[in-house]
Structure 1
Amino acid sequence: MSTNPAYTRILLKLSGEALMGNDSYGINRATIEQMVREVKDVVDLGVQVAVVIGGGNIFRGVAPAAAGMDRATADYMGMLATVMNALALQDALKHIGVVSRVQSALTMQQVAEPYIRGKAMRYLEEGKVVIFAAGTGNPFFTTDTAAALRGMEIGANIVLKATKVDGVYTDDPKTNPDAERYQTITFDEAIAKNLKVMDATALTLCRDQKMPISVFSIFKAGALKRVVMGENEGTLVHV
C-alpha cells in the first residue's frame, strides 16, 4: 500500500453536534481531544488541513428561547456559536502541539482574524491548520455551504464531511439494519435520491465545480487518515 496521501489539501467539515459526544449540548472535552488527535495524524503526513465548523451544539442550548425569532437574527447567533467552537478547537490543537489560526467571516478582531483568502492559503502552506468560523458570514446559508465555498476558494482537493455515521446509506441505518452503505455515488444520484449528504446548495456547488465529497464517521479511530490515504472508508460523492 502507498504511504503517500491521496489528497494534499483538504477541507474538513465538522458539525457542531459531533463535538457534543454523548452530551445533550455543549462541548465534550474527551470528544474534541479525540478529534484533534485524528487531525494531527493527518497533519503529520504533510497534508494541509482547513476546517469549517458548525455551531449546532452551542445553539442547541438556547434553541427554545430562539423559537419564533427572526431567521436572520437566529442565523447570526448560530454564526457566533461557530466562533466559540473554533476557539475551543484551536485550544485543543494547541495542547497537542498543532499550530492553527482561526479566521472568521464576521469581524471580531479580539478573538479571530478576518477571513482573507490569501492569508489562509499562506498559513496552509506553512503547515498550520486554518479554522474557518462564522460560516459564510451571511444568514440563510449553512456551514455545509461555507465548507463547499471555502474548499473551492483555497483549492482543496476534497471536502470531507465528518459525521456520526460512517457514510451515506440507502436508508437510515439506525432504524433499518438492512440499510447498505454506498462506497461511491455520483452527485446526480445523491440529488435524485434526496440522500442526506449536504444541503442542496452545497451539493450543487460541489457538483458544478467537480469538488468530490467524502462522508465518514469522525468517531471511528483512524477514519480520517484512511480517507486521506484514499482507502475504502465512508462514501465518496463524485461527478
Structure 2
Amino acid sequence: MKKIVISLGGSVLVPSLESNRIKDYRDALSGLSEKYQVFIVIGGGGEARRYIDVARSLGIDEAASDELGIMITRINASLLLWALGDFAYPAVARDYTDALKYAESKKIVVMGGVTPGQTTDAVSAVLAERVKADLLINATSIDGIYSEDPKKNSSAEKFETMTPEDLISIVSEGKMGAGSNNVIDLVAAKIIQRSMIPLIVLDGTDTKNLTEALVKGKFCGSVVSSSKKCPLPL
C-alpha cells in the first residue's frame, strides 16, 4: 500500500466544538485507509492559539506555551481517533517511534504535536521521512501556496507548482513562535527538501478535495516537488 501523511490544521478539523468536521474526516479517512496506509497529524488551531495567548499574558515562556499547544493538538487528535473507531490504532502516537510501531497494525495512525518549537507541519514532514511516505499532504483552510496570505491580500499570487527551494524562499520570513500560523513553516520546508517527498497543499475544509486528489488526481491546490510534476493520482 502507498503511504500518505496528512497534516490537518486544527482550525480545519475543529473550527469550534459546536461546528466541526470530525465526522467528515472520519468518513473520508476510513474510506482512504482501504487503499492507502494513512498517517494523520492534527494541529491545535484557534483553540491552541487562544490558550497560548493567555499563557503569554501571564508571562509564561514560549517553551511552556508550546507544551500547552501540544496538549491541545493531542485533544483534537483524540477526538478524531475515537471517532475513527476500529479504523485507527487505539492510541495517539506521542512520538515517531510510537507512530512506526502503531503502523505495524496497518490501521490509521493519529498524532498531535511532539516537541516544543516544532509545528505539526514539521512533525508531519519528519514523520513522512521516517515512514518513507510516498506523499505528504497539507490540508489547510487555503487552497494552495501563495506569495502572501490571500485572506489579507486578494492580489497575492498562487503557485500551482514549485520546487522545495522555491518553498523555502517563500516561507523563510515566517514567524516561528508558539502558535504560529503559516501555510507551512521553514523547518517543514527544509525537511521536505532533504527527503524529496512530494508535498500537496490543498483546501481541507471540504474532504472531497482530499479524496478526489488522491483517487482521481483532481484538486485545487499547489504541488511542491523536485521535478514540479504532480504525483497524483496516487
- Alignment TM class, shorter chain as reference: 0.7 to 0.9
| CA apart distance, 1:149 | 0.8
Contact 1:35 1:218 (C-alpha < 8 Å) held by counterparts: no
Extract unaligned runs of 5+ from structure 2.
Answer: 173-181, 227-234
Matched, 1:13 2:2: no
Give the partner amino acid of 1:31.
Answer: R
Comparing both structures, which one devotes a greater share of its residues to helix? 2
CA contact (8 A) 2:13 2:20 kept: no
5+ long unaligned stretches in structure 1: 1-6, 107-113
When the two structures are superposed, what TM-score results if normalisation uses the length of structure 1?
0.79
| Alignment-mate amino acid for residue 69 of structure 1 | I
> Counterpart of 2:70 in 1: which secondary structure?
helix
**2:188 counterpart of 1:202:** yes
Structure 1 residues 118, 63: CA separation in 2 closer, same or farther (over 3 Å shift)? closer
The aligned residue for residue 92 of structure 2 is 103
TM-score with structure 2 setting the length: 0.80
Residue 109 of structure 1 corresponds to none
Q: Indicate how the Cα distance of structure 1 residues 213 and 61 shifts in structure 2: closer, same or farther if over 3 A, else same.
A: same
Contact 1:183 1:236 in 2 (8 A): yes
Query: Between the two proteins, what is the percent identity of the paired residues?
Result: 27
Q: Report whether the alignment pairs 1:91 with 2:82.
A: yes
Q: Deviations over 1:22-49 (max 9, x none)?
A: x4xxx345422122222233224x1111
Q: Give the aligned CA root-mean-square deviation in angstroms.
A: 2.4
Q: What amino acid is the match of 2:12?
A: A
Change (3 A) 1:151 1:29: same
Q: 1:174 to 1:205 in 2, by over 3 A?
A: same
Contact 2:121/2:184 (<8 A) preserved:
yes
Residue of structure 1 equivalent to 2:169: 192
Report if the CA contact (8 A) 1:226-1:233 is conserved. Answer: no
Aligned 8 A contact 1:14 1:53 in 2:
yes
C-alpha distance in 2 between matches for 1:30 and 1:65: 23
Would you say the 8 A contact 1:19–1:57 is kept in 2? no
> Are the aligned partners of 2:66 and 2:117 in contact in 1 as well (CA < 8 Å)?
yes
Select 2:158's aligned residue among 169, 181, 184: 181
Q: What's the counterpart of residue 65 of structure 2?
A: 74
| Residues 137-189 of structure 1, C-alpha deviations (whole Å, 9 max, x = no match) | x2211111111111111121111111011111244333444444322111111
Q: Contact 1:11–1:147 (CA<8 Å) still a contact in 2?
A: yes
